[in-house]
């Protein structure tokens, strides 16, 4: 059972480069989300989706783009990387109920030089 998968695990970018962080889940969950984790800040929501074709912004959306063409996949695009985007990125998925557990992927560690 794969659960939530993320690729790549590590990435180094130069300022101004673009890239896509991949996220996939095999649990048929409607809800998917992207968080970033910075030291001392906990996890902060970037974007989320409540189903295919529906996305919305979270707390820190600037500089990131998402789309949800299928239930399984929810890629996160960095349009023009900046050093401030150096972080660990987590993708998560869950069912749509209030008490549904969010399951997290293993994370992607991104360094922007």
Partner 1 sequence: AQKITQTQPGMFVQEKEAVTLDCTYDTSDPSYGLFWYKQPSSGEMIFLIYQGSYDQQNATEGRYSLNFQKARKSANLVISASQLGDSAMYFCAMREGPGAGSYQLTFGKGTKLSVIP
Residues engaged in binding partner 1 (CB under 8 A):
31, 33, 35, 40-45, 48, 50, 56, 58, 88, 90, 92, 94, 96, 98-99, 101-104, 106-107
Q: In angstroms, give the least distance from the CB of 7 to partner 1.
A: 15
Considering the complex, state which of residue 48 and residue 64 has its C-beta at the smaller distance from partner 1. 48
Q: What contacts 69, CB < 8 A, 6 or more positions away?
A: 52, 53
Q: In angstroms, give the least distance from the CB of 84 to partner 1.
A: 19
DSSP assignment letter at 85: G
Q: Which residues pair with 45 in a beta bridge?
A: 35
Considering the complex, state which of residue 17 and residue 27 has its C-beta at the smaller distance from partner 1. 27
Strands 10-13 and 108-112: parallel
Q: Which residues pair with 49 in a beta bridge?
A: 32, 55
Considering the complex, state which of residue 17 and residue 104 has its C-beta at the smaller distance from partner 1. 104
């Amino acid at each position: 059972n794969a659960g939530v998968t993320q690729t790549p695990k590590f990435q180094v970018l130069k300022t101004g480069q673009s890239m896509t962080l991949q996220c996939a889940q095999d649990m048929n969950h409607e809800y998917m989300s992207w968080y970033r984790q910075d030291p001392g800040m906990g996890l902060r929501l970037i974007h989320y989706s409540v189903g295919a074709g529906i996305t919305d912004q979270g707390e820190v959306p600037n500089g990131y783009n998402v789309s949800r063409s299928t239930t399984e996949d929810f890629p996160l695009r960095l349009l023009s990387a900046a050093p401030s985007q150096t972080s660990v990125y987590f993708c998560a998925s869950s069912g749509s109920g209030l008490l549904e557990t969010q399951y997290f992927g293993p994370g992607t560690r991104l360094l922007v030089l």
